[in-house]
Amino acid sequence: MNPTSTRPPWARWLAAGLLATLAPAAMAAFSITTVHDGNNAARPQYVIDTDGGLVFKVRGYDSSNTTAVGDLSSIVYKGVEYADPTRGTQLNSGADWLYNGVSAVGLKVEAVSANGTVTPASTANGGVVNASDYIRVTLTSTSTKGGVLTHYYVVKRGESNIHMGTHFTEQPDVHGLVRFIARIPVSKLPNGGPAHAAGGLITYGGESFWAEDLRGTSGAIEASDVFGFPATDPRFGQSRSKHYANRRLKDWEFVGGSGPGVGVWFWRDNNEGGSSGPFYRSLLQQITSTHNELTYIVNYGEAQTEPFRLNVLNTYTMIFNDGTPPTARPDTSWYGNVGLLGYVPPLGRGSVSVAGLTGRAAGVPYTVGFANAQAQYYADADPVDGHVTANGMLPGNYTMTVYKGELAVQTLPVTVTANTSFALNPVAITGDPEVTPALWRIGRWDGTPQEFINGDKLTFMHPSDVRMASWNVGPFVIGQSNAATHWPAYQWKDVNNALQVRFTLRRGQNTAPLRLRLGITADFNGARPQVTVNSWSSAIPPAPPKVSRNLTVGTYRGFNRTYTFDIPAAQLVVGTNVLTINTVSGTAGARFLSPALSFDAIDLVSAQ
């Protein structure tokens, strides 16, 4: 008796359709099978069987405004489909929409042997090419200026991983970013990642949630990407957004989610081709009522602090497993066998070692970053003696920056040579503003506003969220108030402007000019501070360059700026003095999109 005869008709139809689509590749094991949709040779797709439980299909033609050449149009893991064929699993919004005025995409699908022999996919409908070691898919798009973006899918025999690489000589200009996005039906992948992952589970106020999970929300509360809940929902007043899946680059290795019997994860590389250093945050995931959208960001223009880097091979891996979060980087030692543009092997790279850091402040972590126009790297300094080693660096001249927390406190040049370690003696930190004695200080010079009101919630909530404490505070009284409960992390021109500090001077302290130092980690809409002390007002500093949204999309990280204001001695009095800090800008904006500042630290020091 046929065991499928007891299935309902729709199940037999589904099984037959799946078999017709995937059976050739499944029967061929590690292979490429060419299929012509509708028996039309102009509509090819390429079915790749990894021989590891994963079978995926690469689209060879455009079919709609949401799908494109090079999309993964089908992803079947252990017999279950995880792709939405109507919404591409794709580079950017499709490889045919990278450069303005360009829709043509080159596509090559090939088997590659360990000795370098390349065999193209068949052009015949149903044609099968068996592979021995690797399969490589290459997409190319060329801009009208001659810049080329090359994207790879690469498979190693027996793995349930899709390795990817993206290399570009010109930044794509349709969206001004480079990403790969997988839109997986939420019924198949309903969960985000674990607490230790990017986009992972957050527990706050006795509630556990994914900050990027939009299910149950009723509409946008800012732009089209920050959402709130209806009044009937017990979460009314809370916020959710794809932006709040962020985590500092240095703090995460993978992003993804799980479902019944499956986990889908992106494991990142060292991000040497990124564009904002070890503390950069950006969107990574969004869970909607229809899809779990996993986004691997190669580079991104929001809250960007460094120029885009070009001519670097950016690699990352899409992992399919039983739902267990990955614990180790996938093996990539074989990348040198598959002819990837821009690949630099370990022997073509160098390292930098620093014997230690002197002059460190207690209780603050230190990070050492390396950057030039081509690449970026970072490493954590040892908490005992500050020694640090950065490995796997591309040859070149770099600026080495020592960060106290996230504040740059020392820089010096270093040179990296292939297969060589550049060794430095202990480096003395000379640029820490905290070593200057202060009459008073609010906060700590560490490049973050985390010690202030709402500092613990900035990266996973909108500032209007009901779980935020009030941004409006009374005067901060030196000697009585504390930063955690009396000073806000952010100041907006249209929300909590004119923050006030009251401080007392003894006789003699008012006879010499004093210097107010105001550290800012980020600014929005041309904001900068102007201060008033008693009846004296400072000049307005020049406007900083305008940047994208930042403070409302989960990042306080921008260009650390220190504003100094020398207060004439004649304007100071014995007894109580009143300092008022105003955010000023010629740019309009309402509420939390008005010009704004993020505080690092504020102190009063001698001007002499």
Please give the pLDDT value at position 64.
77
pLDDT digits (tens, 9 = 90+) for 186-216: 999 999 999 999 999 999 999 999 999 999 9
Contacts of 386 (CB under 8 A, 6+ apart): 354, 356, 357, 358, 360, 366, 426
pLDDT grade, residue 28 (50/70/90)?
Answer: low
Please give the pLDDT value at position 20.
43
Inform me whether the pLDDT recorded for 23 exceeds 50: no
Phi/psi zone of residue 41: left (φ > 0), alpha (ψ -120 to 50 degrees), beta? alpha
pLDDT digits (tens, 9 = 90+) for 115-163: 999 999 999 999 999 999 999 999 999 999 999 999 999 999 999 999 9
User: What pTM does this model have?
Assistant: 0.92
* Greatest alpha-carbon span in the chain: 103
Topology at the third CATH level for domain 346-428: Immunoglobulin-like (2.60.40)
Where exactly does CATH 2.60.120.260 map onto the chain?
A: 433-606
Q: What SS3 state is found at 357?
A: strand
pLDDT grade, residue 85 (50/70/90)?
Answer: confident
Cα-flanking dihedrals φ and ψ of residue 236, to 5°? -50, 130
Inform me whether the pLDDT recorded for 427 exceeds 80: yes
Contacts of 606 (CB under 8 A, 6+ apart): 437, 512, 514, 515
Inform me whether the pLDDT recorded for 4 exceeds 70: no
Q: What is the mean pLDDT of residues 415-434?
A: 96
Architecture of the domain defined by 433-606: Sandwich (2.60)
pLDDT digits (tens, 9 = 90+) for 221-263: 999 999 999 999 999 999 999 999 999 999 999 999 999 999 9
As a dihedral over the C-alpha atoms of residue 344, residue 303, residue 278, residue 208, rounded to 10 degrees, the angle is: -120
Query: What is the rounded average pLDDT for all residues in the chain?
Result: 93
Please give the pLDDT value at position 130.
97
pLDDT grade, residue 5 (50/70/90)?
Answer: very low
Where exactly does CATH 2.60.40.1120 map onto the chain?
A: 346-428
Which two tokens mark 391?
Answer: 């490995």
Q: What is the mean pLDDT of residues 461-488?
A: 97
Inform me whether the pLDDT recorded for 557 exceeds 50: yes
Please give the pLDDT value at position 67.
87
Its sign, for the CA torsion 85, 91, 95, 98, is positive
